[in-house]
Structure 1
Amino acid sequence: MDSGGPIAENQYGSSAAEQAIYWFALLLDGTESEHDRANFAHWLAADPAHHRAFMEIEHLWTGTSSLNLGNLNLDGQGKSGRRAFLGAGLAAVLVGAAGWYGDVIPHHPFADFRTVKGVRRKITLLDGVQAELASQSSLSVITDDKGATGIALHKGEVFFQHDGRQRDFFVRAANGFVRPVAAARFDVTCYDGQSEIITQTGSVDVETALNTRNVTRGEGVSCDNGVLGTPYDVDLAMRLAWRKGRLVFVGDPLEKVANVLQRWHPGRIIVLGDALKQRPVTLVVNLNRTSDVLPLVGKVLSINVDQIGGYLTILRDA
């Protein structure tokens, strides 16, 4: 990498922590040039927050301060030596320090049903209600205050097939409820307080404390912290391709692709740089071969793909 001058404040991320991750990955990889070292020194000197962010990351990842910031030598170690020294515990400590427990500790350990990363599962929930769980999903059977039986989707994505016999059946996701009007096939996702409901056949009513929407065949609706949007048309074949072992992206921003892919791919994926996050990507992913995807993305977009252990992948401009 040779950027030709001091880096812009948001060239490798919008926060000091994100920029520090970029520099740490570059120095860990050992591919930096003398010009990179000069830019790194300039970045450190530009703001005391940069120095603190870098030292915090290094301390969390290595348990010590191995980098001599005065001359950018790693205690006399060569590039292969520093990779061995830093790389041994880096990924595992990163997972713990940043709270990325998804690959190791299941969310909602007392859920009735769950899947681990990379696994899909079909189950019978109730008489006349089938469900297919996507990767890293968890749900429980619950009853409401009227005694009706339904499902609480704690996290993930689930496709439901409801034949209409369970008339009071419902799905609770984030701050909303999904109630099939009659027989219906529908998909519900729930991540970080946001949910999306897509109807393949029939129709469902989506309710929150603020409003209600009816979502019919081929439509979807999003719910953000209890606020429902307007229903929109959905490409069902593309959106539900995960049920056939595929992920399909057509012109989607790289940041979105990374967020979806890391639900199925081992470890955490970080995209550095606001411009790179918005790069459009068209891609079909075979869920049985997710390990091939990121190197391919790197070649197609001509970007660097830094894979650190089995827990972290950083995508950055070449």
Structure 2
Amino acid sequence: MSNIHQFSSKDAIQAKASRWISAMDRGLSAQERQQFQRWVKENKAHQDAVFELAQLWDELSVLNELSSLFPNKHGINKPARKTTHFSIAASIFAALLIASFMFIGIEHWPSAPHEQAKYSKIYRTKVGEQATFVLPDSTIVQLNTNSLLEVAYTKSRRQLILTRGEGRFNVAKDAARPFTVMAGDKSFTALGTVFNVQRNAASDLELVVTEGKVMITDPSVAVNADDFVQLQNASNDTAKVKNINASIVISGEKAVIKESITKPITRLTQDDVQRDLAWQQGMLIFNGEPLSDALQEVSRYTATRFELADPRLASLKVAGVFKAGDIVGLLDSLRLNLAIEHERLGEHIVSLKQSDHG
């Protein structure tokens, strides 16, 4: 008899629980419901892990499923409030989850292979909201404020469309199914990686790679499994990359696309990365950006809009760390550091002007 308990660590239990939670999100079959109930009853730690992870999940369908399976469990029929703490907790859990996947060699998704191959769903966040999702292949996606992501998996490829907003993609390795995020008029194909895509407009995009590398192409370029294998060790000097007019961006680099043109790729310092990706911890970091740019970034997280009474204010430099969506904190900082006063012209409009004593 095999040693069936050899991987019953906390990380292994959490990893298993995350796959069951995702399965509930897409809908359990009758057989899966029975398998899930057996697994939960094996150990109280299994049940605790499921209910703990469910509080971080974005879909009410999960909590409703748990309520029907375990009607006596208190506190599972109410969605958890969206707070920065949950975003941080989800990010930490995601890191633990990836480590446990690598360590224990978890088996495939609970459903049959032919069911796993075909998966489609739309994920979204509201203005000011951030959420973390685990996809069926164990890829982890973190969406920023006001984002819309369409996911479509087939047997031969994993294709996602970022219709608006920003997302961080921690991609599960699968050489047989390339992973591509389409945003505007560009495609970003992961070559074993963690990366961040921000869509400002159809022709204005930003890519930051924090692990591995990503290939930027036009959407018309389809990368199949054979291409993926050949491109694993590719660089911008590789003939195949040049032939398809692609760009390779590696860990610690940033690509900015303006009006559909990919600008020269830049190398980022650790501070640059922290500033660009601060949203993943619910924060915004400014280090000398013009006030107009800072206000535009702040507006992504709230319904509030800003008007400058004097156009010259637009070029003032802003520095500081702010909680995303904290308008009061921002206005206090502007008053104390730049002598900029504010006046509310309506529920969602704030006028900024230089103080008479500034």
How far the C-alpha of 1:147 sits from its partner, in A, is 5.8
Secondary structure of 1:292 counterpart = helix
Distance change (3 Å), C-alpha of 1:269 and 1:249:
same
Query: Amino acid of the residue matched to residue 312 of structure 1?
Result: I
Q: What TM-score do the two structures reach when normalised by structure 1?
A: 0.60
Which of the residues 186, 190, 201 maps onto 1:176? 186
How far the C-alpha of 1:269 sits from its partner, in A, is 2.1
How far the C-alpha of 1:143 sits from its partner, in A, is 6.4
Deviating above 6 A after TM superposition, structure 1's stretches of 4 or more consecutive aligned residues are: none
Distance change (3 Å), C-alpha of 1:175 and 1:272:
farther
Query: Amino acid of the residue matched to residue 116 of structure 1?
Result: K
How far the C-alpha of 1:295 sits from its partner, in A, is 3.2
Secondary structure of 1:247 counterpart = strand
- Indicate the residue corresponding to 2:94 in structure 1: none
The reply to whether residue 261 of structure 1 matches residue 271 of structure 2 is no
How far the C-alpha of 1:299 sits from its partner, in A, is 3.0
Q: Is the 8 A contact 2:215 2:246 kept in 1?
A: yes
Q: Is the 8 A contact 1:170 1:180 kept in 2?
A: yes
- Indicate the residue corresponding to 1:152 in structure 2: 161
Which of the residues 185, 200, 222 maps onto 2:194? 185
How far the C-alpha of 1:126 sits from its partner, in A, is 3.8
How far the C-alpha of 1:211 sits from its partner, in A, is 3.7
Q: Is the 8 A contact 1:149 1:170 kept in 2?
A: yes
Query: Amino acid of the residue matched to residue 274 of structure 2?
Result: A
The reply to whether residue 219 of structure 1 matches residue 253 of structure 2 is yes
Q: Per-residue CA shift, 1:266-309, capped at 9, x if unaligned?
A: 32223344421111110110236443212321332112312233
Matched positions, count: 206
- Indicate the residue corresponding to 2:217 in structure 1: 207
Q: Structure 1 stretches of 5 or more lacking a match?
A: 1-110
Query: Amino acid of the residue matched to residue 273 of structure 2?
Result: L
Q: Is the 8 A contact 2:298 2:325 kept in 1?
A: no
Q: Structure 2 stretches of 5 or more lacking a match?
A: 1-120, 220-243
- Indicate the residue corresponding to 2:231 in structure 1: none
Secondary structure of 1:153 counterpart = strand
Q: What TM-score do the two structures reach when normalised by structure 2?
A: 0.53
Task: State how far apart, in whole Å, the 2-side matches of 1:126 and 1:291 are.
Answer: 40
State the identity as a percent.
23
Which of the residues 256, 268, 285 maps onto 2:322? 285
Query: Amino acid of the residue matched to residue 197 of structure 1?
Result: L
Give me the CA root mean square deviation: 2.2
Query: Amino acid of the residue matched to residue 196 of structure 1?
Result: E
Task: State how far apart, in whole Å, the 2-side matches of 1:113 and 1:139 are.
Answer: 5
The 5 Å alignment of 1:1-318 reads 112-142=122-152, 148-165=157-174, 167-182=177-192, 184-193=193-202, 194-208=204-218, 211-234=245-268, 235-287=272-324, 289-318=326-355
Q: Relative to total residues, which structure has the larger helix share, 1 or 2?
A: 2
Secondary structure of 1:300 counterpart = helix
Q: Per-residue CA shift, 1:222-244, capped at 9, x if unaligned?
A: 11232111111232112111111
